[in-house]
């Protein structure tokens, strides 16, 4: 599945829309807490499954009732999408930016405790997940006259496509991540089909970005510098690019979770 029109977004834009979506969802779910008083059956020993779509991917849950107010939920979610974008134009020269393409892989596996303070539909949730959310991709210089990149761009120094080769990029997060959120919908309130929604945050830590180049500075020399100087400058720019990407995706350490699910109670 391709993500369209990513080229029109600059790296300086933070994921503000996801924050607004999360805040709106939290308000809606919180307002729902005053509805549907404690009319549920005793959920102790009851179980249900759910199929869901969320910002963490497509997934399945298994829910077990410990008591009318406490349910335990095992959850697995995953999705893979393709992306492509062009780095910012920081020097006013067209078509001398790196062009990135790759895969965004979402995968979480873990457990959540759902507490229903009113034994109704409103719940407060907390849990722990094994987190393999990551992005892997590569960039190329498609300009025969060379490309610039990094934080401090110098119009007098470009790197030829051969000098850069493919620049590989990996973005990873903490492998173990806590989750906190609120939700609406009690899958154990009665037998049969139901509906459930969640809004929360996955605390996946600051992103770790790794860039590496397979280029060869001895092949083509731009700017009249030696191969050794070219390699040193390229490695310095790669470090700057790593830091710039880390700054751009720093907000993802608090990953917004919006989840809609269809549930079914067995008994």
Q: Give the chain's length.
A: 267
Integer Cα distance of 234 and 253 in angstroms: 28
Contact 118, 108 (CB under 8 A): no
- Pair type for strands 192-203 and 57-65: unpaired
Report DSSP state, residue 2. Answer: B
Does residue 208 contact residue 173 with C-beta atoms inside 8 Å? yes
In a 3-state reduction of DSSP, which class is residue 178?
Answer: strand
Instruction: Provide the sign of the torsion angle of the four alpha carbons 90, 135, 133, 151, taken in this order.
Output: negative
- Domains of the chain as residue ranges with CATH: 6-265 (2.40.160.170)
pLDDT of amino acid 147: 82
Chunked into runs of 10 residues, the chain (267 residues) has average pLDDT values of 38 47 49 44 89 96 95 97 75 72 95 94 97 92 80 65 89 96 94 95 94 86 78 87 86 94 93
> What are φ and ψ of residue 57, in 5° steps?
120, -160
Residue with tokens 């790196």, as numbered in its chain: 98
| CA–CA gap between residue 66 and residue 42 (Å, rounded) | 10
Measured CA to CA, the distance from residue 236 to residue 157 in angstroms comes to 13
> What distance in Å separates the CA atoms of residue 214 and residue 212, rounded to the nearest whole number?
7
pLDDT number for residue 180: 97
Q: What is the pLDDT of residue 247?
A: 87
Structure-block tokens of residue 130: 């094994």
């Amino acid at each position: 599945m391709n993500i369209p029109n990513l080229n029109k977004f600059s790296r300086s834009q933070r994921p503000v829309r996801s924050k607004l979506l999360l805040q709106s969802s939290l308000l809606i779910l919180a307002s729902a807490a005053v509805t549907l008083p404690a009319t549920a059956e005793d959920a102790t020993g009851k179980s249900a499954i759910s199929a869901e779509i969320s910002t963490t991917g497509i997934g399945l849950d298994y829910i077990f009732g410990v008591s009318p107010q406490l349910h335990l939920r095992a959850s697995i979610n995953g999705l893979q999408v393709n992306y492509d974008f062009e780095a910012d134009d920081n020097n006013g020269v067209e078509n001398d930016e790196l062009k990135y393409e790759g895969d965004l892989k979402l995968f979480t596996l873990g457990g959540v405790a759902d507490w229903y303070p009113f034994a109704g539909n409103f719940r407060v949730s907390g849990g722990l997940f094994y987190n393999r959310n990551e992005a892997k991709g590569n960039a190329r210089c498609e300009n025969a006259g060379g490309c610039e990149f990094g934080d401090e761009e110098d119009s007098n120094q470009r790197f030829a496509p051969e000098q850069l080769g493919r620049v590989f990029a990996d973005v990873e997060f903490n492998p173990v991540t806590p989750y906190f959120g609120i939700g609406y919908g009690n899958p154990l309130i009665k037998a049969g089909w139901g509906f459930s929604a969640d809004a929360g945050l996955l605390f996946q830590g600051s992103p770790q970005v790794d860039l590496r180049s397979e280029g060869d500075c001895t092949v083509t020399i731009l700017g009249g510098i030696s191969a050794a100087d070219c390699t040193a400058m390229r490695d310095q720019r790669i470090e700057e690019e790593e830091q710039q990407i880390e700054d751009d995706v720093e907000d993802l350490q608090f990953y917004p979770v919006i989840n809609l699910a269809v549930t079914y109670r067995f008994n």
